[in-house]
Amino acid sequence: MKSDAAERRRRGRPSKFGRPSQLVALTLPLDVVRGLRKIDRDLARAIVRVFEGAPNAADESSEDLQPDAELLKIADRRSLIVVNSVIIRSLPGVAIVPLDGTRGFLALEPGRGVSDLELAVIDRLDDAVQARERQALEQLRRQLKTWRREPTLRFHGRAIIVVETLAASRARADGTTARAGARKRGNQRRRSAAGATPRGQLLVDAS
């Protein structure tokens, strides 16, 4: 019976914040409650938003505050799967596209879906030796399973194009190489044209 109860708890409502949470009972002044509800009707979410926007929150270690896996909202009802890229540096067949210094969103190869992502996490778990990385991968694996079972969530694959801004020195070097290559190809075409036999003509050598 005990194991059944634990299993039911694991299959319950997914984590509201995408990271470990704790139930806290607190009493607040009415004006504070009204102010928080203007931020979010859900008081817990309102408090989290106030904390995350506070100056002292930014001073804390980003590794301590940042969840290892979360859904980052980018538009109405649309989110990206984001991981702590300081800890989770690679996954087989998955690109971790940097968002900032410590976070990256997951981009899969064409034709792959969330089940393939789960398999990639499992494959990486087999190779991971650092305890901290294994902890992060286990959290990502749990979150993927929770999100996949959540009836209000749907997963869609989208192709992305990443545009890289080159440093000035590298851009100049690449431009010089490209121009030199273009000149070389042009010279080769001119030499070929000069020595080529025009179509429709037959050359006969006199013996």
What is the domain partition of the chain in residue ranges?
A: 67-157
Share of the chain above pLDDT 70, in %: 68
> What is the total residue count of the chain?
207
Instruction: Kindly report the number of other CB atoms within 10 A of residue 158's CB atom.
Output: 8
**Contact present, 66 and 102 (Cβ < 8 Å):** yes
What is the arithmetic mean of pLDDT over 78-94?
93
Lowest mean pLDDT across 10-19, 32-41, 42-51, 97-106: 10-19
Neighbour-count burial of 71, counting CB atoms closer than 10 A to its CB (0-12 exposed, 13-18 middle, 19+ buried) = middle
Instruction: State yes or no: pLDDT of 118 exceeds 90.
Output: yes
